[in-house]
Amino acid sequence: MTLQRTVVVPGMLAEYGAFAELLRSLSDDELTVPSRCEGWTAADVAGHVVGQLSDVANLRLQGLGTPEATQREVMERRGRTAAELAGELEAALAIVGDLAAGFDDDVWDAPGPQGDGTTLGFGVEALWFDTFLHADDIRAAVGRATVSGPGLAPSVSHITQVLTEQGWGPATVRLDGLDEFSVSGGGGITIDGDPMTFVLVASGRSDPGVLGLDETVNIFR
């Protein structure tokens, strides 16, 4: 189950706002630095995040999140400056903010327009997770410190839901400073420790052995 609408919607919008600020802080040289996303520079990571929100704002939802759509988002924005990327993101964010203002709990819990059977809430929470994680990808690429904050809880929530859908577990996830999450009904092994470490491990960005896990915990495997 996703976090509450009243938490996710404003949190997701704020995360995109912070991402735009991150983009505006990047130099031309920093945009060209390779990231931990294979084959992508920091600019490519930004292009995906910006393109994904632009696709949502324009209701271009067919195949959203697939490798093909993701690569299109990147290629369409190759060569743009940080200011241009931030400007497009902010324009799309204004549209998405207006759309999100019309969500109520019934709409939140109903199947979303993504067309894969998941709820609208799941899709919005996934956007928050994706933006939070990719912001850290950019910071890691250019040598800046991780910024955790409110994006941790929706990221762990999203990961545990995806792991459940993938048949991983069962597991109980008890991470520092967060509520407890369950994978595949809970019970089973207990995962504790630093939440950002868990996010990086479960997204294939860090060694799963640090949490006593193996590579099957990577939701992108």
If asked whether residues 100 and 14 sit together in one domain, one would say: yes
Residue where a domain terminates, one of 147, 172, 199: 147
Q: Write the CATH number for 62.
A: 1.20.120.450
If asked whether residues 137 and 175 sit together in one domain, one would say: no
Distance CA 141, CA 178 (A): 27
Q: 96: closest CA among 1, 17, 3, 7? A: 17
What pLDDT score does 62 carry? 85
If asked whether residues 162 and 139 sit together in one domain, one would say: no
pTM above 0.95, yes or no: yes
If asked whether residues 47 and 97 sit together in one domain, one would say: yes
pLDDT digits (tens, 9 = 90+) for 19-31: 999 999 999 999 9
If asked whether residues 157 and 131 sit together in one domain, one would say: no
What pLDDT score does 1 carry? 82
Residue where a domain terminates, one of 111, 130, 147: 147
If asked whether residues 56 and 72 sit together in one domain, one would say: yes
Please give the structure tokens belonging to residue 31. Answer: 């945009």
Residue stretches of the chain with pLDDT short of 50: none
If asked whether residues 103 and 40 sit together in one domain, one would say: yes
If asked whether residues 59 and 160 sit together in one domain, one would say: no
Question: Which residue range(s) make up the domain with 87?
Answer: 5-147
* Domains in the chain, number: 2
If asked whether residues 100 and 28 sit together in one domain, one would say: yes
Residue where a domain terminates, one of 99, 127, 147: 147
Q: Write the CATH number for 179.
A: 3.30.1050.20
pLDDT digits (tens, 9 = 90+) for 31-80: 999 999 999 999 999 999 999 999 999 999 888 899 999 999 999 999 99
If asked whether residues 37 and 115 sit together in one domain, one would say: yes
Residue 149 neighbours by CB under 8 Å, 6+ apart: none
What pLDDT score does 208 carry? 98
